[in-house]
Structure 1
Amino acid sequence: MRPALSRLGSARSATLLALALTAAGAGAVAAPQAAHASVTRIRLGGSSDVSRTSWSGPAFTFNGDGAVVPATAAKAIAAITGGSGSIDVTVLADSAATGSSQTPECDVFMGLSGVNSCTTDVVTSAADGNNAQVNTDVRNAEFVYFAGGNQCVYASWKGTSLQSSVQSVIAKGGGSGGGSAGHHINSAVVYDACTASTDSATALADPYDSSVTFTTGMFAWPNYADTINDSHFVTRDRMGRTMAFVARAVKDGLTTSGKAWGVGVEQGGGSLFLDKNGLATLSGSDAYVVLGDHQPEQAVSGRPLTYSNFKIWHLTAGQTFDFKNRPSCGYYTRSVSNGTPDANLYSGAPVTDCGGGGGGTGTGSSRTETEPNDSTGTANDITGLSYPATVTGSMKSGSDRDYYRLSLTSGQTATVTCTIPAAYDADLYFMNAGGSTLTRSVNNGKGAGESLSWTATSSGTYYADLEAYSGSGSATYSCGITKS
């Protein structure tokens, strides 16, 4: 739900029209168009859409409540434009807003750099998903924001033209986002709340309760497969119901991998920005990723849930989660037994024994390389290690390259220091997500150590690459990696 706002039906169209016409007289708002009997449209900003041949997204924002979060919205705009030009935004809402503004989402977007226009379309039924004006607005936009409200209405657009129109925005390099109900609709498996809004106690007591219903096949965003979003997470104590959602998704085969990831974002400014490489960065309040990676011990209709060892990552402001290369450690575990969850669901000591997941082996903050890791595409994933971390390996041939993938937030500095054995000479490179070299260390001579530092100007995925220059062998190198 939108904070401090409610929604009105199409009966308020006359009021919206009068307000919009008044503002238009001041040059701020183009007159709304009643595109359909139950659709209300208000456009702010430029009267003409921007024209451009290509965009640099996709990019996404997932918010814990209905309000637009300027920090992540600005990141999405910059990612889509590539830092040049402006975009058009369309806000989709299931009913009209009351309060001091009829366009609260667009009010925020229009205050951000790089926005040419923002159009609010109030689309109240499944039939409106085929409305020509609404679909035109969406297809001409570069970012679509789903307002807070009732995600069942949004789910009802599955199979309409509007579903395809939103997908077309992502396909051209634009973006999507939303808060509360709008956060729910952007996941791969949607808790649609079409019969009732469930709570943790109800869902854990019976994960097949009539209030626990899902829509699948709505959207499939890049790198965000097998997810189930939840909102207002800590304040409304929704960890338990997310656990039930995850267990149901695994049990019923609703995901493609046999695993399911619940993504819960707290209200009050909590927002995940997801870039085109699958890296999510949190702004504001807490977020949680809840993994179910095995079948539940008990998940049947009419009986309480039993599920052991959910893996839970707790994110705080500025922290990241790599949805493309999902980490294999850094989580804590919690279980549910006969509908009763463990205590302290929202905090725990992270597991640091990675057990070799994600490429390589190691315990705690160490990782031993596993071949093949000779390119960015086959890099050993060290995003889940605790830092400072250590990676070890060897230059097995004169052309060997060992790549390690890690993540940095904007302003964070990575320092890599490698001890090289006397059997060979190796050079050290630090690269961006595209594989371009950012800095390097190329000291001459077998056994010469290498060291470099790089401060990230943007959050994302980076690579440390140690390359054989001369010589080879089984002697082990050791690279220490710190983040500051």
Structure 2
Amino acid sequence: MTPRSWRTPATSATVALLTLAGALTAAQSAQAAANRIRLGSSTDADRAGWSGPAFTMNGAGSVVAASMTRAVDAIRGATGSLDVVVLAGSAPTSGSRTPECDTVMGLAGVNSCTTWTLTKASDGNNAQVNTDIRKAEFVYFAGGDQCRYAAWKGTALEASVESVVAKGGGAGGGSAGHHINSPVVYDACNGSVTSPEALADPYDSYISFTTGMFDWAHYGGVVNDSHFVTRNRMGRTMAFVARAIEDGLTSGGAAWGVGVEEGGGSLYIDRNGLATAYGKNSYVVLGDHRPERADAGRPLSYAGFKIWRLTPGQTFDFRNRPTCGYYLRSVTNGVPDPNLYDGTPSACSSGTGSARAS
């Protein structure tokens, strides 16, 4: 999605041409059939049980080999092999038609990798798509447009992905695929919002959420964000967290943001909810009280977001969430404190949980 700040005025003729082109593209997409490409064995792996679940949350769309290897090994118990399904809302515009599977097939313990490109919400009820998902042990949502993925809420696809996790498999994704794997999804169905826009108005029309889709164990109350540092998204994550609390999208009067950086950033999360950062820094942002001000058309004010900065190798326990080791940052009349991405963490007393180096 393109932020408003990147848009330029267009003439009426240009608008007409763009409208016509958009209509043709939409008509072509509406008629496009779901597309399947399978790499590796044509026969699915067969075994009695799996040892997950395991999850990968990536800051960009690409599979991160290190965290994916760990997920694959955890799910298969380091023996045998498994099958992966990649779900995409659109085909790549250049290069390989199966970029995620190209990486996955280079990992030990992978029997096959199937890419499904689904262009319509109704594709979520495609029988072959759901058969492939249910036979797989890991489902990866590619980068792209999370609004397309949110449209699969309530389809058979949602239940199929949940069945993979329930049997001890795993799920994950990158960029848009990272967004869809949190229980509160910033769905971008109205467009993409920047941090200054979100802080100036936490009810900006470009901010919309989908809830009630995936709610993985130990990951409750979370809204994910991607491309985190490069695209300066801490501010908008703060706004998302404040909105989630104010609107009751999470329970207990608190909400959590999980931001993962691009360029190889990934969070691997094991069956017990222990997350390990890979590649680049990740951030966990806690809002533990109602905003001082979160009103439509007015700038956000929030005192004391608690932020954990996870460098590669550090862990964060989502099952037993830490109560120290964070630094504090606030937003006053839409203006955030300086130095949002680094700070001196609060001290932890003996026996108190915190983010840790592995």
The question of a shared fold, defined as TM-score above 0.5 by the shorter chain, is answered with yes
Indicate whether 1:365 and 2:349 are aligned: yes
Aligned counterparts of 1:52 and 1:191: Cα–Cα separation in 2:
37
| Cα 1:9–1:111 shift into 2, 3 Å | farther
Aligned counterparts of 1:264 and 1:47: Cα–Cα separation in 2:
37
Indicate whether 1:384 and 2:354 are aligned: yes
2:285 alignment counterpart: 290
Q: Could you list the per-position Cα deviations for residues 404-454 of structure 1 after superposition, in whole angstroms to 9, with x for gaps in the alignment?
A: xxx672xxxxxxxxxxxxxxxxxxxxxxxxxxxxxxxxxxxxxxxxxxxxx
1:99 deviates by 2.3
1:64 alignment counterpart: 59
1:52 deviates by 1.4
SS at match of 1:182: helix
Q: Decide which structure has greater strand share.
A: 1
Indicate whether 1:231 and 2:226 are aligned: yes
Aligned sequence identity (%) = 66
Aligned length: 334
1:155 alignment counterpart: 150
Indicate whether 1:273 and 2:265 are aligned: no
Amino acid at match of 1:309: G
Amino acid at match of 1:271: S
Instruction: State which of 184, 187, 190 in structure 2 corresponds to 1:192.
Output: 187
Unaligned runs of 5+ in 2: 2-24
Aligned counterparts of 2:44 and 2:32: Cα–Cα separation in 1:
25
Aligned counterparts of 2:226 and 2:98: Cα–Cα separation in 1:
22
Alignment of 1:61-460 (within 5 A): 61-352=56-347, 364-367=348-351, 382-384=352-354, 409=358
Report if the CA contact (8 A) 2:32-2:119 is conserved: no
Q: Could you list the per-position Cα deviations for residues 112-160 of structure 1 after superposition, in whole angstroms to 9, with x for gaps in the alignment?
A: 0000000000011211110111111111110000000000000000010
Using CA pairs below 8 Å that are at least 6 residues apart, which structure has the higher relative contact order? 2
Report if the CA contact (8 A) 2:313-2:357 is conserved: no
1:100 deviates by 2.4
Aligned counterparts of 2:268 and 2:141: Cα–Cα separation in 1:
15
Report if the CA contact (8 A) 1:74-1:112 is conserved: yes
Unaligned runs of 5+ in 1: 2-7, 13-35, 353-363, 368-381, 386-406, 410-484
1:384 deviates by 1.8
Amino acid at match of 2:164: V
Aligned counterparts of 2:95 and 2:208: Cα–Cα separation in 1:
34
1:258 deviates by 1.8
Report if the CA contact (8 A) 1:9-1:95 is conserved: no
Report if the CA contact (8 A) 1:10-1:40 is conserved: no
Q: Could you list the per-position Cα deviations for residues 225-267 of structure 1 after superposition, in whole angstroms to 9, with x for gaps in the alignment?
A: 0000000000000000000000000000101222111000000
| Cα 1:10–1:108 shift into 2, 3 Å | farther
Aligned counterparts of 2:285 and 2:184: Cα–Cα separation in 1:
14
| Cα 1:82–1:9 shift into 2, 3 Å | farther
1:11 deviates by 6.4
Aligned counterparts of 1:86 and 1:299: Cα–Cα separation in 2:
49
| Structure 1 residue ranges, 4+ long, deviating more than 2 angstroms after superposition | 8-12, 364-367
Aligned counterparts of 2:39 and 2:249: Cα–Cα separation in 1:
40
Report if the CA contact (8 A) 1:10-1:39 is conserved: no
Amino acid at match of 2:185: V
SS at match of 1:245: helix
